[in-house]
Each structure stands twice: as C-alpha cells, then as structure tokens.
Amino acid sequence: MIRNIWSLLCWYFRPLIKWFLHQTTQMCELQRICYGEPSGASRTLHVENSLRQSRNVDIKNLVTNLDNIANKRGITIRSERKILEDAIRTVLLTKKINPIAHPDFAKSFGKCVELIWGYHQLIVECEDLRKTIYNSDDPNHELLLLKLWNLLKSDEPLESRVTKQWQDIGFQGDDPKTDFRGMGILGLENLVYFAEEYPRAAAHALMHSTHPRYGYAFAIVGINITSMALRLLRDGTAKTQIYNSSKTLPSIRAFHQFYSYLFYEFDEFWIESKPNNMMEFSLIQEKFENSIRSSLANPLTIFKINVAVDNI
C-alpha cells in the first residue's frame, strides 16, 4: 500500500522534479542519465524508464514506433543504423540538445536504444523458437538432435533414431521429440549451444546427472532451465545480464549464453543441495531461481561460466 502511494506521488510530481533539475543543471533527464550512470545495465535501465514514462508526444511516438519495429524483428544489420540515427535525431530535436556542445550524448544514448529494443526483439525471437514444434520430418530438426547426441556422446554411436540410448542423456523415452513440446526448438537449440560452446561445462553437468544418489535427467532438466531463462527474459529480470554482456545488438546468442550459465550453476546448486530424490526438483529450482533474481537485482551483475573441477 505504502509503495503504491509512493509510486503515485513520484509519478505525479515527476514533471516538477524534472523541471527543477533541468533548471539547475541545464540538462534534460536523458542527458543526466547518460552522463551520470555507468554504461551497461545501470544506464540503460534508467534511460528505458525515462523514455517509457515520458509524457512528451514525440517521445511516446518514438517508443511506440521502436516497439513495433522490434515486434516485427525489424532491427537487422542493414536497418539498425538508420533506426538508431532516427531515434537519436528525435531526442536531440525534442529535448533541444546541441550535438556540438554535447558530442558524447548521441553515442551513449544510441547504445542504450540498441540494447533496449534489441532485448525487446530478442524476446520475440525466443518466443518464435519456443512456438516452433519439433518436427521429425524436418531434416534440420533431426540433424540438430543428432548433433546434440554427438556432442555429448561422441564415443558412442547412436544405434537408431528411436532408441533407449536417448535416456542416457536424460530424455524420458526412446524418442526425444516428445520432450520438446513445452519449449519447442528453443529447448533443443539451448542444449546444443551449451554442449558445443561449453563442452567442459556440459560434460561436467552430464557426469553429475549420472550420480548414483544425486543424479537427474540431464536433457529434461535442461529444458526446464530453458523455461526458467525465458521466464526471466520475459519479465525483464534478465535485462541486467543482457545489457551488461552485450557489446552490440542483443541476439539469440546472448540468450544461449545466459541459459548456459543457468544450467551450469543449477547443476552445482542441485548437487550441493543433496536432494533425496527428484521429487525435490521444484523446490530446489525455485530456490535457485530466487537466488538468480536476487543477483540480477544488482545492476552491476554479469554472469560468466567458471568451470570447476570436483570429485563428486
């Protein structure tokens, strides 16, 4: 209740506060943010908040236009430069910022726009992959699945397409396609990326998954991690990681890297939790997710995989 009242007061008095600060600093809110906040998540989150709370018609139209472009996945290598230039030009004119007197503003603000709507577009791309159902008649899907096996079990040939061997890497039955129903091709692409880009980390987790007491279904857990990563992406919690780790327009690679970190860290968290059985999975996953959310509440957080060696 108190928080709601405070938010309402802040929203009501925001124009007055902005006017006062503008008069005393001779800079608009976006300038103060770009000059006063460190690059990465801290600056970008403040810029995003400022843009979306703006009552200026031109700024509101700019935000709507950028949202529409991102929804259509229209920010590409070819189109990005013009999109950023138009956004910067709109703000310079609307806020009456002299680009000669403030040469660093355009670069700083443009980077924030790139991250904000790159993230927005990334959500759309991930959702498209999630909605893409695994199709055993699609050779690309089949090749991707076979690639996963070869990455994890390079020394063990697959006897046939449908076989109990799939259970060795944590699928539920003889045909993995049924396990991708919830997360679609996104779940498979995540697993393949983790195994291909972080082979030591993936091998480490696969070894743990066969532990006689604390073992788990590697692939099924991996698909559950995809669901968690997507949840964090959708609700904006992952912005801290994506904004801090992306040097250019956030792409699907940024999501795969985030996923890989979550999988590797969950594996460690699971082992350290010493579960009695898989019935404790939901509780342990909830605790793990809460710890990740807590870490990402710090705008300086950036996750990196650090492969440890243990004898568990």
Give 126-173 pLDDT, tens digit per residue. Answer: 999 999 999 999 999 999 999 999 999 999 999 999 999 999 999 999
Q: Which of 13-27, 208-222, 247-261, 264-278 has the lowest mean pLDDT?
A: 13-27
Contacts of 290 (CB under 8 A, 6+ apart): none
Band (101; pLDDT cuts 50, 70, 90): confident
Average confidence (pLDDT) over 264-292: 95
Q: Which residue has the higher pLDDT, 213 or 27?
A: 213
- The whole-number pLDDT of residue 26 equals 54
Residue 311 has pLDDT above 80, yes or no: no
Question: What are 49-87's pLDDT values in tens digits?
Answer: 999 999 999 999 999 999 999 999 999 999 999 999 999
Average confidence (pLDDT) over 286-307: 94
Residue 3 has pLDDT above 80, yes or no: no
Q: How far is CA 85 from CA 21, 41, 109, 185, 225, in A?
A: 27, 21, 10, 35, 37
* Percentage of the chain modeled with pLDDT above 90: 85
Band (264; pLDDT cuts 50, 70, 90): very high
Q: Tell which residue, 233, 168, 174, 240, has the closest CA to residue 206.
A: 168
Average confidence (pLDDT) over 276-284: 92
Band (2; pLDDT cuts 50, 70, 90): low
What's this model's pTM, rounded to 2 decimal places?
Answer: 0.90
- Burial readout 223-262 (b: 16 or more C-beta within 10 A, e: otherwise): bbbbebbbebbeeebbbbbbbbbbeebbebebbbbbbbbb
- The whole-number pLDDT of residue 305 equals 86
Q: Domain limits of the chain?
A: 29-130, 133-296
Average confidence (pLDDT) over 91-114: 93
The residue length of the chain stands at 312
**pLDDT, averaged across the chain:** 91
- The whole-number pLDDT of residue 278 equals 86
Band (190; pLDDT cuts 50, 70, 90): very high
Q: Which residue has the higher pLDDT, 122 or 311?
A: 122
Average confidence (pLDDT) over 180-204: 96
Question: What are 5-27's pLDDT values in tens digits?
Answer: 545 555 554 554 444 444 445 57
- The whole-number pLDDT of residue 277 equals 87
Q: What is the rounded distance in angstroms from the CA atom of residue 264 to the CA atom of residue 81?
A: 36
Largest pairwise CA distance in the chain = 74
Structural contact between residues 111 and 39, judged by C-beta atoms closer than 8 angstroms: yes
- The whole-number pLDDT of residue 155 equals 93
Tokens of 228: 């968690």
